[in-house]
Structure 1
Amino acid sequence: MAELILHQYATSPFSEKVRLLLGAKGLAWQAVEIPPILPKPDVIALTGGYRRTPVLQIGADVYCDTALICDVIDALAPSPAPLYPPAQAGAARLLASWFDTVLFGAVASYLFQTGGAQEILGRMTPEQIQAFRADRKAMRGDGNALGVPLGEAAALLRDTLARLEVQVAGGVSHVAGAALSLADFSLYHNLWFLKRAPVQTAWLEGYPAIQSWYARMQAFGHGEVRVIDSATALAAAQAAVPQPLTAQASADSGFAVGDGVCVTPTDYARDPVSGTLVSLDDRMVTLRRQDPRAGALNVHFPRLGFHVQRAA
């Protein structure tokens, strides 16, 4: 199998979710540090337009969105513990989705409205922070860079943590039940993001059971990581061949293998990716693309949260 290459940046919470999962699985991987805002020419060479962070590359196969990335990593390394234990698989997936969308929207909104951005963005100049805010506003596409109003964001955070505190303190050691699951990693990256602004989040100390759970998760670490540059990653894609897939399209999808299509996120960062349809089912859509620098690529997206339509 080709090397796992994660295109990420250090302060990205969704990157931290995947980094921690790689550590929990005991995997070796390579990291490419990418810009947090546009332009991202080397990322776009691989994805065709998808701009969210992170992106997982395995040879000439590129996986977008952490929901899919986590599934891929779990399939490659089901041990030491699967992300979807049979007794709580449904709850784990649903909770993870809620943590990644609703809770994360509240966390990001809370931090940016309480001055946490200065701490999180580290050594950025005021001009760079302004550029970051403008980039995220453009990603949202609704003219609102902050998202959830502060009062509602704070209430959602407190209520969520209070309920989880009771559960964990009562002896349920993980978020979706007795076993470790994807839901734990999706909650973790939210709290990791909050903890990067300690002045604004001292109130987290009021949840000792959650703090203990967080420490257990943090102990997984990030696995064995080697930093490479984006040119090396592009060369690896150019030298590889996309993995063979069973060419198929769901009968009720309205598409056929070989159609020209574009795939677009349905919530934010709605940058379409165009290519030739390789596969489409209820869980994943795969496009074949050709890039001058990266060569022939399969670009994969989750089916949920993404819109598929015919290319213009």
Structure 2
Amino acid sequence: MAPNDHSVILHHFDESPFSEKIRLVFGLKNIAWTSVRISRIMPRPDLMPMTGGYRRTPVMQIGADIYCDTQCIIRELERRCPAPSLFPGGNEGLASASAMWTDKSFFQNAVNLVFGSLADKVPQSFIEDREKLRGAKFDVAAMKAAIPQMRDQFRAHVGWIETQLGSGGPWLGGGAMGLFDINAYMNIWYVRSNLPVADELLAQFPNVRAWETRVRAIGHGTRTEMSTAEALEIGRRATPQTIEVEDPHDPNGRTVGDLVDVRPDDYGKIAVRGRIVALSAQSIAIRRHDDLAGDVVVHFPRAGFLVTPAA
């Protein structure tokens, strides 16, 4: 079936560990999706008009609704495609919160280990791009010097996974695969994909190695390809489907129609400006207009993001 205005489109690049999370969700839920491959570094002239400047990877597009950050993307995929569930044994709160471990401390450990090990092979253009993204020096020399400490920390993180797998079943949540597994697998996959020493690093963890094979076998669902220009055209001609939702318990009194800036709180702190359409404890959606993309609604999670009144 040809992609249409309601197709699930993922803007990603194949080497992205965060994108691998979403590709695995597609596999677990047997979702047919459209792949739009973006550059690993800027510019991304067809994507930025839709996101309003948000430049972390991946981004999911469904018509003129744009979903940023894996937290937000996963929540929407679970809502649209509830079976099989990402929370087969319950524990939705803990499974969702596990991203604060896997996406932050565990991911930073994996990044430092990978780039410290690659060191001299990292292109200068990539270093310069990541320095702009992070707002700080991307110091591969320092990462290389820290490899012994990063190996220690990687071992500690993987050790937690090994212990959990040894106590409750073939999956981290028990008898069925779920979000716990997808979150934790990301960094194992990232190290495995980049470092020949992955076998050595994982040798003492038989439960993890067997689990890694099971996760990989889930696959990525049914994938077709589309150009960035085609995706932008779909967004331009579509109408956002998000309905207005107030949050009566918003601790700062925000309301539908407020003009706000939304940005990550750690890196890639580029503000996206728009008027609130929907608001909850876990998500915020803002409407914005772009001359190339038309009217879009951009969705963000609340955890890990800052919402401030537009100046």
TM over 0.5: yes
Between stretches 191-200 and 106-115, larger displacement belongs to 191-200
Q: What's 1:154 paired with? A: 151
Q: What's 1:27 paired with? A: 31
Q: What's 1:136 paired with? A: 130
Label 1:291 to 1:216 Cα distance change in 2 as closer, same or farther (>3 A): same
Q: Deviations over 1:121-165 (max 9, x none)?
A: xxxxx6xx1111121122222335458743432222101222322
In the alignment, the residues of structure 2 paired with residue 30 and residue 290 of structure 1 have an alpha-carbon distance, to the nearest angstrom, of 24
Q: Secondary structure at the match of 1:41?
A: coil
Across the aligned residues of Structure 1 and Structure 2, the Cα RMSD in angstroms comes to: 2.0
Q: Deviations over 1:261-307 (max 9, x none)?
A: 11010011101101111122211111101111211101000011111
In the alignment, the residues of structure 2 paired with residue 111 and residue 288 of structure 1 have an alpha-carbon distance, to the nearest angstrom, of 38
Q: What's 1:122 paired with? A: none
Q: How many residues align?
A: 302
Q: What's 2:19 paired with? A: 15
Q: What's 1:79 paired with? A: 83
Quick check: 1:229 aligned with 2:227?
A: yes
Counterpart of 1:190 (choices 187, 191, 211) is 187
Counterpart of 2:99 (choices 83, 96, 105) is 96
Q: Secondary structure at the match of 2:286?
A: strand
Q: Deviations over 1:92-127 (max 9, x none)?
A: 122232111110110001111112784xxxxxxx6x
Q: Secondary structure at the match of 1:114?
A: helix
Runs of 4+, deviation exceeding 6 Å: none
Q: What's 2:257 paired with? A: 258
Residue type matched to 2:178 in 1? S
Structure 2 counterparts to residues 273-284 of structure 1, below 5 A: 273-284=272-283
In the alignment, the residues of structure 2 paired with residue 68 and residue 117 of structure 1 have an alpha-carbon distance, to the nearest angstrom, of 35
For the Cα contact (< 8 Å) 2:260–2:310, is it kept in 1? yes
Q: What's 2:236 paired with? A: 238
Q: Secondary structure at the match of 2:277?
A: strand
In the alignment, the residues of structure 2 paired with residue 117 and residue 158 of structure 1 have an alpha-carbon distance, to the nearest angstrom, of 24
What percentage of aligned pairs have identical amino acids? 36
Q: Deviations over 1:229-278 (max 9, x none)?
A: 01111111112110141332444323232121110100111011011111
Between stretches 281-290 and 175-184, larger displacement belongs to 175-184
Q: Secondary structure at the match of 1:105?
A: helix
Q: Secondary structure at the match of 1:87?
A: coil
Q: What's 2:64 paired with? A: 60
Q: What's 2:218 paired with? A: 220
Label 1:142 to 1:116 Cα distance change in 2 as closer, same or farther (>3 A): closer
Residue type matched to 2:304 in 1? G
For the Cα contact (< 8 Å) 2:12–2:35, is it kept in 1? yes
Label 1:262 to 1:29 Cα distance change in 2 as closer, same or farther (>3 A): same
Q: What's 1:121 paired with? A: none
Q: Secondary structure at the match of 1:288?
A: strand
In the alignment, the residues of structure 2 paired with residue 261 and residue 95 of structure 1 have an alpha-carbon distance, to the nearest angstrom, of 28
Query: TM-score, normalised to structure 1's length?
Result: 0.90
For the Cα contact (< 8 Å) 2:24–2:220, is it kept in 1? yes
In the alignment, the residues of structure 1 paired with residue 251 and residue 31 of structure 2 have an alpha-carbon distance, to the nearest angstrom, of 38
Between stretches 212-221 and 166-175, larger displacement belongs to 166-175
Query: TM-score, normalised to structure 2's length?
Result: 0.91
Quick check: 1:169 aligned with 2:166?
A: yes
Counterpart of 1:37 (choices 35, 38, 41) is 41
CA drift at 1:207: 1.7
